[in-house]
Amino acid sequence: MSTPHAVHLHAWSPGRVNLLGEHVDYNGGPVLPAAIDRCLSVDARLDDSRLVKLTARDLESETCFSLDGLDAKLDCDGLPLPGWALYPAGVAWSLQRRGLTLSGMQAEFSSDIPIGAGLSSSAALEVAFAVLWQAAGGWEISRMELAQLCLQAEREYVGLSCGILDQFAVLHGQRGHALYLDTQTLDWRTVPLPPHTAIIIADSRVRRSLTSSAYNQRFNECRQALEILQSRFPNLGSLGEFSPADLYVSARLLPETLLMRARHVVEECDRTRRAVQALEAGDPCAFGQLMLEGHASLRDLYEVSTPELDTLVEVAATLPGCYGSRLTGAGFGGCTVSLVHRTEVDDFIAELERQYQQATSIEPFIYCCHASDGARAEALS
């Protein structure tokens, strides 16, 4: 289907916070994210050219690339694409590999999702351009397939060995709800969040670059652990299928580091399933305790926390109205998420900010969020 000249579209793409199920989406386990009411917005004019001209307002950066030379990852002047442009270029690359017809465009975007904070600013960027091209092309593909195509872009084009959690959540968000996703089967359902609670994001202001961090190392360690366990359990397809009891009796098969990684994954999967039961039973206290246990596991077994993140969680857990807290996202910096009673939000934020700054000499960025709807695009006149 050809695109009419200069179609004017606008897209909104939210960030996401993961409430439980960290580092299990690439291990076939269940996750519990929610899209949040911070978003990336794109204003685009699509045309019949094969050129994509992009302006990242927040970064004060521009680039241009051709849809016909994406494998080279070069701009129109033959220079390497800036890092941020690999995400929309990767999405174009993935969509065209799927056989979908894309339009050229001139687009500007801005975002209030902190970059590198563990709130999926990269997935929001990918999905925004995916829904733009889908709206322009009118393709009849599901949101889950679109999430998979964005995941392919991030894995094979950008070079990050991530799972589908981020792209799924950004596309499937529902106001007032978390999303329970079995990453092995891709079955999912919405889970209502307690109406008297708020999601508090605390940005440690410590940044990391995932593609150059230990993220891919953790991915490979989990793969190694799975391969060893498959020698005894040949029908085992992923670590997410293992139970804590199974791992306990098989622990001697794994070297210490690989056992630590596998323990986190297997126990985190179990925590996530129990967390859904707690939410559906209207028990935020039980849910919050599982958040705290999840953070301890990420700190001690998966070793992706930082002193700053630990401080945020430790302080939050002592404050009135806080049900639970944990790091969210890949770790190595970024944010924590806390579930807090609505009546205590203002005092919680003020005291967490004060104590964190006193302990670290870093001024955090703390804000209240709510679960929001997923990405969308619409035509403008």
Residue 380 pLDDT:
86
- Residue 213: predicted pLDDT: 63
Over the stretch 335-374, which tens digit does the pLDDT of each residue have? 999 999 999 999 999 999 999 999 999 999 999 999 999 9
DSSP string, 98-161: TT----EEEEEEEE-SPTTSSS-HHHHHHHHHHHHHHHHHT----HHHHHHHHHHIIIIII---
CATH annotation of 7-192+373-379? 3.30.230.10
Mean pLDDT of 279-307: 97
Question: Over the stretch 248-265, which tens digit does the pLDDT of each residue have?
Answer: 999 999 999 999 999 999
Look up 47 and say whether it is catalytic. Answer: no
- Which pLDDT does position 161 carry in this prediction? 77
Mean pLDDT, range 218-240, rounded to an integer: 95
Whether pLDDT at 3 is above 60 = no
Say if residue 139 is exposed, middle or buried (CB neighbours under 10 Å; 0-12, 13-18, 19+).
Answer: middle
Which position among 71, 166, 187, 283 bears the catalytic label?
166
Average pLDDT of the chain?
94
Domain boundaries, the chain: 7-192+373-379
59-74 pLDDT tens trace: 999 999 999 999 999 9
At residue 115, the pLDDT reads 77
- Is the model's pLDDT at 325 over the cut of 80? yes
Q: What are phi and psi of 65, to 5 degrees?
A: -140, 160
Q: What is the pLDDT of residue 2?
A: 45
Q: Which residue has the higher pLDDT, 174 or 162?
A: 174
| pLDDT, mean of residues 101-130 | 91
Over 60: is that where the pLDDT of 1 sits?
no
Confidence (pLDDT) at 212: 52
